[in-house]
Structure 1
Amino acid sequence: MKRTSANLKTLAREALTGNFALPVSAYLLITIVTSVLSMVVTGFLDVSNTISLVTSQILVYLFSLLSSLLMVGYDKMILNLNRRQPYTLGNIFYAFSHNPDRFIVVNFILLLVGILVSLPFDIPSYTSSSWNAMILSMVGILVRSLVSIILAAFFGLANYLLLDYPEMGAMQAMKESLKLMKGNKGRYVHLYLSFLPLTIVCIFTCYIGILWLLPYMQTTLAFFYMDITGELDTPVVEAGNVQDNSFTNPML
């Protein structure tokens, strides 16, 4: 059964009712860790020194990869929440202790594509006047966001698959995501963009509202994955703890 965006959001709100504290705290911790690291690097950024500029930018990208891995663990927490399984703050470090190379490969590939398409805007922004630099930076952010949505419409389920199938490789997960997303890309994009109005509202709260919006959004997207794989229609006991080496899915 293909549930509508409204149906999936209803499931997310029901799952989060009375359970918002830990998802909000976990996202806040991830934000603090990655923001502090990025601020330390950019604080020493010397645009007059090419080597320093390149080194600092590489470190920023590495921190972005670190953030992606922490968000994989966050998705693990949300999946457990959705499945009414135990979940803890420690779940955010899940990717670092469960064959991390698989998660690193998937998220590095997605990050690399985003970097390559935004470089034409990022590089000139460091040497342009402040006004032009701001415009170029904003355009770069917009381009990365659009590319991120497009990539997610193809490979957005890869991390979930790696979480559910510990023996699955990175490239296999991306291939399986492509198969699962066939005929569902429009649904995913529509679901993702349906959060845009709330995101705009969060801007007027100095982004504080993001602490509540992101758990809501990630919970909904996790339900989207569970819907596509058929789990919501045929719940499996202890779902998410699959230990066999094969990938079987009723949708494939």
Structure 2
Amino acid sequence: METNQTYKNRALASLEGKWTIGAVATLIFSLIVNIARVSITYPMDDTTGASVNGIWILLCLPLMWGNRVFFLRLIRQEDIDYGHLFDGYKDCVRIGVTLLLGCFFVAIGCVFLLIPGIIISLMLSQVEFVMEDDKEIGYLDAMKRSADLMKGHKAKLFWLNLSFMGWIILAILTFGIGLLLLLPYFNTTLAYFYEDLKAEQQIG
């Protein structure tokens, strides 16, 4: 496995000349998942708003998958367009159920203590990528494969995520506008991390 800075440098190299498509993809994703959700639920009372919010998140799970996989395809230099963000809806049951189960397991871990929730989240962090590379893999098998890939690497991914904290704070200070550049950078870095996990397992 490479150093955190190496993953970031590789991400920056892949985004050269592609910052616009990364930023626009992030904007589309954010508008649908966050802005539209807030706009719809804002006039509602707390109970109705919470229910609609939950339903909206469920409906957006395939889009969340598509957003992660978008940047994996980018580093693989595949042909991509904004329509690929919605590819998850072609297989929405398998993808939606898998991500929902992952959220459930993370939530259960957080109920007991924050640390178990973080560990489970790290274990399942590669599920979207695994499902992109194996179109037939089932719900639990995808999570198991992610957990297998992450054996011995959870701490490294934790620190890689944490290394973006300063950039996140700066992006928030720009009223979120900076996230349009930061999130492509972050997601591309994570895509490279997955590629190394996968290569290491194949070598092993």
Query: After TM superposition, is the score higher than 0.5?
Result: yes
- Label 1:65 to 1:115 Cα distance change in 2 as closer, same or farther (>3 A): farther
Matches within 5 A, 1:81-120: 81-97=74-90, 99-113=91-105
> Which has a greater percent of helix?
2
Alignment deviations for residues 174-201 of structure 1 (CA, whole Å, 9 cap, x no partner): 0011111000001110111110010011
Unaligned ranges ≥5, structure 1: 48-52, 120-142, 232-248
Check whether the contact 2:171–2:177 (CA below 8 A) recurs between aligned residues.
yes
TM-score of the two chains, using structure 1 as the length reference: 0.73
- Label 1:251 to 1:41 Cα distance change in 2 as closer, same or farther (>3 A): farther
**Counterparts of 1:27 and 1:118 in 2: how far apart (Å)?**
28
Which residue matches 1:68?
Answer: 61
- Label 1:91 to 1:148 Cα distance change in 2 as closer, same or farther (>3 A): farther
Check whether the contact 1:76–1:94 (CA below 8 A) recurs between aligned residues.
no
> 1:148: Cα distance to partner?
6.8
Which residue matches 2:16?
Answer: 17
Matches within 5 A, 1:1-252: 2-47=1-46, 53=47, 55-97=48-90, 99-113=91-105, 149-230=118-199, 250=202
Higher relative contact order (CA 8 A, sep 6+): 2
Alignment deviations for residues 152-209 of structure 1 (CA, whole Å, 9 cap, x no partner): 3100111101011101112101001111100000111011111001001112111110
> 1:56: Cα distance to partner?
2.5
**Counterparts of 2:117 and 2:28 in 1: how far apart (Å)?**
23
Unaligned ranges ≥5, structure 2: none
Which residue matches 1:243?
Answer: none
* Count of residue pairs the alignment pairs up: 202
Rg larger for:
1
Alignment deviations for residues 99-119 of structure 1 (CA, whole Å, 9 cap, x no partner): 222211121123335666889
TM-score of the two chains, using structure 2 as the length reference: 0.89
- Label 1:220 to 1:92 Cα distance change in 2 as closer, same or farther (>3 A): same
> 1:73: Cα distance to partner?
1.0
Aligned with 2:202: secondary structure?
coil
**Counterparts of 1:111 and 1:186 in 2: how far apart (Å)?**
20
**Counterparts of 1:6 and 1:198 in 2: how far apart (Å)?**
14
- Label 1:179 to 1:18 Cα distance change in 2 as closer, same or farther (>3 A): same
> 1:45: Cα distance to partner?
2.5
**Counterparts of 2:118 and 2:107 in 1: how far apart (Å)?**
14
**Counterparts of 1:215 and 1:5 in 2: how far apart (Å)?**
16
Measured on the aligned residues, the alpha-carbon RMSD in Å equals: 2.3
- Label 1:147 to 1:93 Cα distance change in 2 as closer, same or farther (>3 A): farther
**Counterparts of 2:54 and 2:107 in 1: how far apart (Å)?**
8
**Counterparts of 1:113 and 1:62 in 2: how far apart (Å)?**
19
